[in-house]
Amino acid sequence: MQFSFCAGLFNGMPGKAFCTRRVGGETPIKMTSEEHPIPLLAPYRMGNFHLSHRIVLAPLTRQRSFNNVPQPHAILYYSQRTTKGGLLITEATGVSETAQGYPHTPGGIFFCQIWHVGRVSNQDFQPHGQAPISSTERPLTPQLRSNGLDMAHFSTPRRLRTDEIPSIVNDFRLAARNAMEAGFDGVEIHGAHGYLLEQFMKDQVNDRIDHYGGSLENRCRFALEIVEAVTNEIGADKVGIRLSPFAGYAEAADSNPKSLALYMAKSLNEYGILYCHMVEPRMVKPGEKQECPHSLLPIRKAFNGTFIAAGGYGREDGNKAVAEGRADLIAYGRLFLANPDLPTRFEVDAPLNKYNRETFYIRDPVVGYTDYPFLERDP
């Protein structure tokens, strides 16, 4: 699988990406935001990509695909949130022929997030009803769904054999190739939120005794092998990764998250990837800010490429983070979901639409998806 029960599969036949345009460049440089009155709106050069602002659409699971294929309403959803020179990251998704006819409009930079859920699954979602795969045989306990009402139940996973791991690495490589052939500008490897890569990286999940378990180096080996395979396939200048070392999503916590984060940041430098997208330590649980002694600043200093921070940011603290050099770019999820013109609203400091949590994951192709209003502007 390459990979998503949320929004499509890579089936070896790439489709067409939507709302993308490659923007050229030569020498990677970072443009200062110090002189811009609104740091989030200062231009930035990320490798070969010229960004017109620093507000990123975070990857958001929306569950609006049918039969694992994105539908035309996904085109509208992403188009609404596209600005020329703005970076968008898809939900963990594949590409489809339903997107034909919409590339290169209207100038956004579009990265496809690729993932594997590992044990965060159920046999009903697996081929032939087989057990989900993971670093471990320990199952997740039932979890309250994001709607706050229903419980999600997970099947007992099967521990991957050591000799099976290269095939999973290759799945990520093929997914990255297909994304590029489909017209995406790059890929983001999903290494966060308790999914398969974190099930290897985090010591509260990984109980292996082979060279993919035990030490920090061993636990990070799988993720770094994926990074290496993907960069070799499509080029390091088109690869990012998302990490949440401080979080405990899906019962995936680590006893020393700062060491994990620093080890990954320094190791990623060896591959020269374009960006590292990291979730703030305060976001221990989805959608909940908590007081936390940790900071991303040491990790930001350790990583040589573009550093994207995510986790409950608003306009004021996003501007402050960029102005103080704690992040190059800020990823917005729920605010961007509810405000398709978020950069414009931040520019004029306009009121924001309130998001409706009850419509985050419903199947309706319009309600809570493409019906959030734009800011009314004087003619």
Q: Is residue 263 among the annotated active site residues? A: no
CA–CA dist 40, 49 (Å, integer): 17
CA–CA dist 161, 42 (Å, integer): 48
Handedness of CA 26, 30, 32, 38 (dihedral sign): positive
Question: Over the range 173-212, which residues count as b (16 or more CB within 10 Å of their CB) and which as e?
Answer: bbbbbbbbebbbbbbbbbbbbbbbbbbbbbbebbebeeeb
Three-state DSSP class for residue 149:
coil
Three-state DSSP class for residue 251:
helix
CA–CA dist 250, 66 (Å, integer): 25
Cα–Cα distances (Å) from 132 to 129, 142, 161, in that order, read 9, 15, 13
Return the DSSP state at 263. H
Distance of CA 41 to the CA centre of its chain: 21
Q: Cis check for the bond before 106: say yes or no (omega within 30 of 0).
A: yes
Residues near 30 by beta carbon (within 8 Å), at least 6 away in sequence: 44, 45, 306, 328
Catalytic residue among 44, 78, 102, 195: 195
Tokens matching residue 30: 């970072």
CA–CA dist 28, 305 (Å, integer): 9
Catalytic residues: 195
